């Protein structure tokens, strides 16, 4: 292993063939907008091949201002009509004044590693007919297939709907990462840090963490890093979190740095790979994405099934144990606006009630809320009339994003303190997963809204009162 600044790193061979030479007269095909390529059928295929789906945590099925084009809460990666993947071809060691000339060919993908002011290493990439490439980042340029902006709790992204977003304050890279999917079975998807820009280049500046590997090649990390966690077991049958790792520009797996943007890389983890599994989590330092395979999604509820579960809940005619009025979960399309019949829950005990404007513990809370229809945030501590336990009192919402479910079981539990309702297996699984926060902190959160989980377990079993008749 040769680190930046060593004699060996500054005096490498002039060029090195990484792979057999190919016909360079054929430039890599342009990477068009995802709205054009992802929805196309592959020639000769009866049905489009779906490699998998990416789901952004915290949006519960839709962005606040609606899903539009490449900016959405969920995206399926389809087999492209023509392969657009790339693979490393030739490595060049050149002086910095020649860098601009070496990168002037916009039909050639390349990665530039700046080792010093007088020396750079450029790796040329060539077209790969066996893979499809998909790029993810904050940029709205056409080479980005999935536009992702920073997620805050409750799924409210400050730049999710406007032009330009919050680019000045965002911690997500404009070209955050890329995923390469094999065009043939088993359609393995692999993730790499950093994406190619409009000039088909990736630049790692002098301050970026980079190094020469033992076999003479180059590798590096992006500023805030791309973290990946594969599940320890099968995601839907034995949900258990694995260890968070960092993925390099070349797709190698490393232990986490001391802080998110530290210049010293972590230790190479040789027995792990960058191949995505069902349930793999990808953190871009501002947003976390979940990768679901087609096989995994077949074991989760569809939107139609979730609607059926909602109707079954309402058909049981749950009642408020105090007011004796019948409660009803609102439609899946109705979000953030509390309905008069909506069930509320005391999250410390699980007793489900209708809304009532009393029971506040004023010494612990800010006072009574304005009434039905206001935001549940800041409602203060309440005392449950059934068991006298004191805690938050919030409306219940059915989780609408089926891809976040671990099974299609009945919605009997809710996350604390947000009140999103789903199956017992789903709350148990997600309450065990520490999600990255800030530069080095981790905390379990509700996958539907991003709210940090509280309480002993992070979830509660719901206790409904049946009809008296």
Give the pLDDT confidence score for residue 107 in this predicted structure.
Answer: 76
Percent pLDDT > 70 in the chain is 78
What are the tokens at 81? Answer: 């009509």
* pLDDT mean over 38-65: 76
Identify the top-confidence range among 11-25, 204-218, 423-437: 423-437
The three-class DSSP label of residue 468 is: coil
Q: Average pLDDT in the 353-377 region?
A: 53
> Is the distance from CB of 16 to CB of 90 less than 8 angstroms?
yes
Residue identified by tokens 């004044």 is 97
Measure the CA–CA gap between 449 and 427, rounded to whole angstroms.
13
- Give the residue-averaged pLDDT of 267-291: 96
Q: How far is CA 218 from CA 18, 90, 369, 405, in A?
A: 11, 11, 58, 40
Cα 335 from chain centroid?
21
Which candidate, 252, 219, 222, places its Cα nearest to that of 123? Answer: 219
pLDDT of residue 36: 40
Least confident window among 4-18, 303-317, 319-333: 4-18
User: Is the pLDDT at 120 greater than 90, yes or no?
Assistant: no
pLDDT of residue 356: 81
| Region of poorest pLDDT, from 85-89, 204-208, 422-426 | 204-208
Which range, of 238-242, 361-365, 386-390, 461-465, averages the lowest pLDDT?
361-365
| Percent of the chain whose predicted confidence (pLDDT) is above 90 | 58
pLDDT tens for each residue of 163-197: 334 444 788 999 999 999 999 999 999 999 999 99
Question: In angstroms, what CA-CA distances link 230 with 233, 244, 245, 287?
Answer: 9, 8, 9, 17
What's the pTM value of the predicted model, to 2 decimals? 0.83
* Residue 399 in this model has a pLDDT that exceeds 80: yes
Sequential DSSP letters for 381-425: EEE-TTT--EEEEEE-EE---GGG-SS-----EEETTT-EEE-HH
Band of residue 261 on the pLDDT scale cut at 50, 70, 90: confident
Query: What pLDDT band is residue 105 in, cutting at 50, 70 and 90?
Result: low
| 410-428 confidence digits (pLDDT tens) | 999 999 999 999 999 999 9
Give the pLDDT score at 151: 82
Measured in residues, the chain has a length of 469
Specify burial of residue 172 (Cβ count, 10 A radius: 0-12, 13-18, 19+).
Answer: buried
pLDDT band at 375 (very low <50, low <70, confident <90, very high): very low
């Amino acid at each position: 292993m040769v680190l930046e600044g060593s004699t060996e790193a500054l005096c490498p061979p002039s060029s090195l063939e990484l792979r057999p030479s190919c016909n360079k007269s054929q430039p890599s095909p342009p990477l068009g907008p995802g709205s054009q390529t992802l929805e196309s059928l592959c020639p000769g295929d009866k049905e489009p091949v779906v490699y998998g789906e990416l789901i952004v945590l915290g949006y519960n099925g839709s962005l606040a201002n609606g899903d539009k084009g490449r900016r959405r809460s969920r995206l399926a990666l389809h087999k492209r009509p023509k392969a657009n993947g790339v693979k490393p071809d030739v490595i060049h060691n050149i002086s910095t004044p020649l860098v601009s000339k070496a990168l002037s060919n916009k039909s050639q993908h390349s990665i530039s590693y700046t080792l010093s002011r007088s020396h750079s290493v450029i790796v040329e990439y060539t077209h790969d007919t066996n893979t499809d490439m998909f790029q993810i980042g904050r940029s709205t340029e056409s080479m980005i297939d999935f536009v992702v902006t920073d997620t805050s709790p409750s799924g409210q992204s400050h730049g999710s709907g406007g032009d330009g977003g919050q680019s000045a304050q965002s911690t997500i890279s404009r070209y955050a990462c890329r995923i390469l999917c094999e065009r043939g079975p088993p359609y393995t998807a692999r993730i790499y840090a950093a994406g190619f820009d409009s000039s088909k280049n990736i630049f790692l500046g002098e301050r970026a963490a980079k190094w020469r590997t033992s076999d003479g090649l180059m590798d590096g990390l992006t500023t805030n890093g791309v973290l990946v966690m594969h599940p320890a077991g099968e995601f839907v049958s034995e949900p258990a979190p694995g260890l968070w790792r960092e993925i390099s520009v070349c797709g190698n797996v490393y232990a986490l740095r001391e802080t998110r943007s530290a210049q010293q890389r972590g230790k190479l983890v040789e027995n792990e790979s960058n191949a995505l599994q069902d349930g793999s989590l990808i953190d871009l330092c501002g947003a976390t994405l979940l990768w679901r395979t087609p096989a995994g999604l077949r074991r989760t509820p569809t939107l139609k099934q979730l609607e059926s579960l909602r109707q079954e809940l309402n058909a049981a005619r749950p009642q408020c144990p105090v007011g004796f009025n019948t409660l009803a979960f609102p439609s899946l399309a109705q979000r953030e606006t509390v309905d008069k019949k909506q069930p509320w829950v005391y999250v410390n005990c699980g007793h489900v009630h209708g809304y009532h404007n009393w029971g506040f513990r004023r010494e612990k809370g800010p006072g009574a809320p304005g009434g039905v229809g206001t935001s549940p945030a800041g409602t203060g501590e309440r005392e449950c009339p059934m068991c006298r336990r004191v805690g938050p009192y919030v409306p219940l919402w059915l989780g609408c994003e089926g891809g976040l479910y671990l099974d299609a079981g009945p919605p009997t539990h809710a996350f604390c303190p947000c009140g999103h309702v789903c199956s017992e297996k789903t709350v148990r699984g997600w309450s065990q997963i520490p999600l990255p926060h800030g530069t080095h902190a981790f905390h379990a959160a509700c996958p539907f809204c991003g709210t940090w989980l509280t309480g002993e377990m992070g979830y509660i079993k719901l206790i409904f009162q049946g009809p008296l008749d």
